[in-house]
Amino acid sequence: MSAHSNDLHLQLGPFQGITDVYYRNTFQKYFGGIDTFFTPFFSGIHKENSKSLRTDEIDVAHNNPLTLTPQLLSNDGIEILRFADQCQAMGYREVNLNMGCPYPQVARKKRGSGMMPYTDLVAQIADEIRGKMPLAFSIKCRLGYYDSTEIDALIPIFNSLNLSELIVHARLGKQMYGGIPDFEKFAAIIPQINTRLVYNGDVFSPAQLQIYQQKFSPINHWMLGRGILSDPFLASDLKGTTLESDPEAKKEQVLKFITSLYLLRRKAKNNNPAILGRMKELWSYLYLSFDEAENVWRSIRKSTDFDSYEDAVARVFKHHHWLGTGYVRAPKDDFLAPTDVEHA
Ligand SMILES: Cc1cc2nc3c(=O)[nH]c(=O)nc-3n(C[C@H](O)[C@H](O)[C@H](O)COP(=O)(O)O)c2cc1C
């Protein structure tokens, strides 16, 4: 482990449809290593006391407002303030603006990473909210939508906002999740950002993190994404704090986690069959950490109801070995989750 492991700060990246409140709470019960969490994005906060915010997803009865940051997808300063006010009233300390979502139906409307080429729009939003945020404010963005020069024009605006942190997924919006991050460009912006800068993009193993630590010194805040969906031990492995060293013990722990999450979702959603889709979406990352991964994925994917899903899970844990760090072995151009579910 690197000399800096004790100072490592790790965030769980938000995944619409996967890292919901049930995932986050079950994750914390079975695994460690994550310091801060984000909700998948909210949108359409048109009113005070918005109905969209009256949900377990953000209710402090189910969430710890000291370690969870609610995220908003918006290109409207008034909506950002409205969201911030409601989150503050619930007891949250910080809100985050999503300027990273790459999906065409979002980006086309100049939202998510689709805002990044429009410097004037971002400047106007900044003018609307500057000095008025009732709580800490952070932004998650990419290097640009079409081109990494887009962030250069935005940095002075970001720097004028007294952000608590800027999280940069070091890809372009048009890349979606494919290709590799632009490490050189990320390194180049480090000295230009006047707040804490968090790196996001392809942190899949302790070996990779060590390389990034060398490239991006003094960055020590990292957001984990597909790597931790694929191997929930990733955060504690990066910190050198994982208790289970034997792969069989790890597999046992993953089984407990996935079963507990499944039962919690069934209970919370009154056995709605849609939760099968949610479980499969998580499996579309998790399967990569097993041996004969394609066979694992095929078994899970073809299950059509709760019984066949439970049989498939039992077979996987009986017949396959846990290898871990699955995303290191992911197909190269895997820019969408294999389930092809759309996340508007
Ligand atoms: C299916 C899916 C849903 C996502 N939903 C969100 C989201 O709601 N908010 C967000 O900021 N990022 C979202 N992301 C992006 C991830 O949080 C993360 O930034 C991205 O996967 C890059 O990190 P990685 O290379 O380590 O996977 C999503 C990504 C995927 C694939």
- Give the Å distance between the CA of 318 and the centre of ligand 1: 31
| Residue 40 CA, closest ligand 1 atom number | 8
Q: Does the C-beta of 278 come closer than 6 Å to ligand 1?
A: no
Calculate what percentage of the chain has a pLDDT beyond 70.
94
The structure tokens listed for 113 are: 């990473």
The pLDDT, as a whole number, for residue 340 is 36
As a whole number of angstroms, the distance between CA 155 and CA 169 comes to 15
Q: Does the C-beta of 102 come closer than 6 Å to ligand 1?
A: no
How are beta strands 9-12 and 165-172 bridged, if at all? unpaired
The pLDDT, as a whole number, for residue 333 is 56
Asked if pLDDT for residue 283 goes beyond 80, the answer is: yes
Asked whether 292 and 196 are in contact (CB, 8 A), the reply is no
Residue type, 31: F
Tell me what the mean pLDDT of segment 214-234 comes to.
97
SS3 state at 207: helix
The pLDDT, as a whole number, for residue 331 is 79
Q: What pTM was estimated for this model as a whole?
A: 0.95
| Residue 202 CA, closest ligand 1 atom number | 25
Please state which architecture CATH assigns to domain 5-239: Alpha-Beta Barrel (3.20)
The pLDDT, as a whole number, for residue 246 is 95
What are the start-end ranges of the E strands in 145-243?
165-172, 196-200, 221-224
As a whole number of angstroms, the distance between CA 180 and CA 175 comes to 9
pLDDT digits (tens, 9 = 90+) for 110-134: 999 999 999 999 999 999 999 999 9
Between 1 and 94, the higher pLDDT residue: 94
Question: Taking all residues of the chain, what is their mean pLDDT, rounded to a whole number?
Answer: 94
pLDDT digits (tens, 9 = 90+) for 314-341: 999 999 999 999 999 887 654 444 343 3
- Give the Å distance between the CA of 282 and the centre of ligand 1: 13
